[in-house]
Structure 1
Amino acid sequence: MDAEWYNAAAKRQIDKFKDYTKPLDLLRTPNKNTVLHVYITAVKKEPEESIEFVELVESKCPSLLAEPNIKGETPLHIAARFGRKNIVEFLIQSIKKAQNEDLERGAEASTSDKMLKKTSTDEDTALHEAVRNNHPQVVEILIRENPEFANIANAAGESPLYLAAVRENNNIASKILEICPSPAYSGPNGKTALHEAVISRDEDLTRKILDKNNSLTKEQDNEGRTPLHYASYFNLPAIVQILLEGDNKSAAYIGDNDGKTPLHIAIICGKSHLMVVEKIMSDCLDCSELADNEGKNVLHFAVESGNFKGVQIITQEPSLANLINQKDKEGNTPVHLVAAFGFESLTEHHLVDKKAVNNKNLTALDVVLETKDETDELLGYTARKLRRARYEQGRPLIQLKARERNKITDKSISALRKVSKSHQIVATLIATVTFTAGFTLPGGYNQDGPGKGTTILTRRSAFKAFLITDTLSLALSISVVLIHFLLTLTRNKKKLFYLFFWAFVFTIVAMILMMVAFMAAVYAVMPHSSSGLRAAICVIGSCLALLCLYMLKVTLPEICHCG
């Protein structure tokens, strides 16, 4: 398309086209856009006279009304995308007029009807474009003209209603539900418009969709999750209430691909979701008996997630007493998980079987004994109560006592040996820098006179501070290198841990001293007239030194915990 005609279409220069005698369908851009595509895209407002250009094009070349570009988009797609309401109405009327002419000719299939439903290469209809770009007036025009628009999904599997729900556009979604007798609800990955209404926390749209089709509560996406799963996960008690109304309670019994029900999801999320837990249990108490694919019931999940209040709610319900000693596929009861997760209140329940063994023939106490990375809390109250129960059975506790005496595990030692290599590199770099600084002293040397060869700044206090801190940093970093060398030869776990501990402390201190040495050197060589610059450098250096101290404070407890 020549620039002359492209600009004329873009600038609405209608008169220029009135005298154009060649076929308009020959004017194309590289993307196969016609002058009608260009005009509709460029027009900024929708005044009444804007139809004049479209009318002129129709009179000269009617086929352009349905002519697609390289992406399969007709002028109706473009008009719907940009919300050109008047043009959309005109195009539809032109299509209907052509349709009537087809019927009068006795045509079996209406070309004009196909034009109205024509899809792009992404299988988008004009309605998809209007919904996606939030043009409610255009949406209403299209679906009132042809409600079947709402039943067409694009290549991504998105129905117009799904697009409205995922974009949280309640107004458009409500229009589609109001006008279309049975719209499509489908979306990608198996989700429906109801899934997205729940995810968007839209109570009003959720209720409207259910009023239209309440069977959607049981629809599962590709992960097996129903809308109720998402309401449970996002902690939406009001929407949970809506989803469980009437005959929809069966949704509470549906598990996802892992077998987890909405109640499992809510209990796993912790105490913040207790209202959802209580709501599901009040309406569908027997769904509490369901287990996931690993055989874990709702009490297993409550213990694993540390949901103390959830455990209390479940164990206080007499009809759920069987859950207390129910085993998963590994033979673990909730009490076995208590031992592993350091959660003790369940052990006090009068129905708990403390002697129950799992598939490895381990009791809850045995689980404590074989856990290598238990914390102090694990060896605290829980272990004491289980130890007392074990004592009453007359069984020895030598293994537990040995574990209490030696809490430095093979796992932590292995981790320390791996970290040691990177620490050794850091220490070597510090030693190299400080060693070099000792021979390239700030201020330089006397070139003549009785003090020839001596440093110029010898008498400055800042220079003396530089020498001391640089020497200490060098000594500490070399010590660290030596310690890490000794770590490779040490087999005693306790000794190895303490060597690593002091190597880490020395490294941090060496870093701090190196920074202090740098500040002292800069301070020594800067003239008194640059006091502001000297102060700025000292502030920056001090901040870095404080950061190193903070790292030491934060990291030391972690290292001590490993040991």
Structure 2
Amino acid sequence: MSFKHSFKFSSFGPSALIQAASQNHTYRDFVVKLTKTRRSALSETDKFGWTPIHYTAHFGAVDIFKVFLDHIDSSTARKRDKQGMTVIHIAAREGEVTILKELAYNFPEIWDLQDNKGQTVFHLAVERGKLDCVKFILATKLSHYGLINQKDNEGNIALHLATIHGKNQQIFELLIKDCRVDKSARNIEGFTVIDIILLKEYGYFEKTWITMSVASNGGLESLEHAINKDGRKTRSTESTTTNQEQPQTTWFPVAIEAQPQLIPNKRPEPAAMKKPSSDQLHTIASINLLVTTLIATISFAAGFTMPGGYKSDGPEEGMAILSRKLAFRVFLIANALAFCFSSTSMFLHYCKSFVEKLDAHAFYTYITSLLTSYGITAMVIAFVSGTYAALSDSPGLAKAVLSIGCSFFGLQLLVYFK
């Protein structure tokens, strides 16, 4: 070790151990000597309330952490900084899964501790998008139902934070698919995860798909909360804030470090959040059923009325004349998709007739509407490609039909993403 580095670690106390921790394994031997000389320094704190072991978790100094681990007890592991964080909170926040595993094995009693914001290790790992830590927390036996659905001071469980911050899509999918996670949990403002999704700036298809993923994985009650049976507001919290003016706030902050208010006290009512009544859902379903029936009828008929006709003689008698053309093959695939989408939508309408709960009706309405929109798109593709194949001898006319057909997709995108 150089004279410069020797001078750097000249003070035998917590500051020396902290500085050593930041250097990771480079000064491992020296740290071992310091630890043996001043073991009590491991429990001493600096002006931030951090002990040397806090810093090992912060810097990811795994080797030095293991040295410290042999010389600390439960009281040192429980030491909190000025934000109420223990070393296990720091490890989860920084994504240090190795340190997190060691702490869980050696000090399981600190696993459920909350910081000053009421957040657990699970909250912090999810909020910061630390996928490996989230996987470990969900896999360990220490993570019981209460921890996974623990609410912080804002009433947010980890799933709320994954939705609000959106740091890692894989984390959101993990939580949605885990049967222990309460998808219908509400925070202090009465928001469920679907409420938050509907308020975010997603596109039509993305918003619908995410909402249905939540609903199909145990979040139907959350969906029912977003779609009110009588068209009235259901949250008791809203009745106390209707007549109060609230300052405009930012919904989804970019920087977590700023830690602003995540959810404003008054909920806006954008168009995406207007809740249809039971009668409105019935009207939507009736129109959707009519449209999807027409698509199924047209695509079924088109499957037996091939563009260009059939061969009347020869070894391939009865085969489609245009079967070798690419446009004709596109027609067949698109027509088959249109029939499948519409038939599936019709089947779901049939299934819906056996359910009574509003949340189930809403679920089926979303799914059938999505399938019908796909069926319409496939039907237009089938029409354009079939016509193009039949007009292959008239390229000018074929291109004109193709251009007209493509204008539909421009209109469709304009409607969906407006």
TM-score of the aligned structures, taking structure 1 as reference length:
0.38
Q: Which has the higher helix share?
A: 1
Larger Rg: 1
Q: Which structure is richer in relative contact order (CA contacts within 8 A, separation 6 or more)?
A: 2
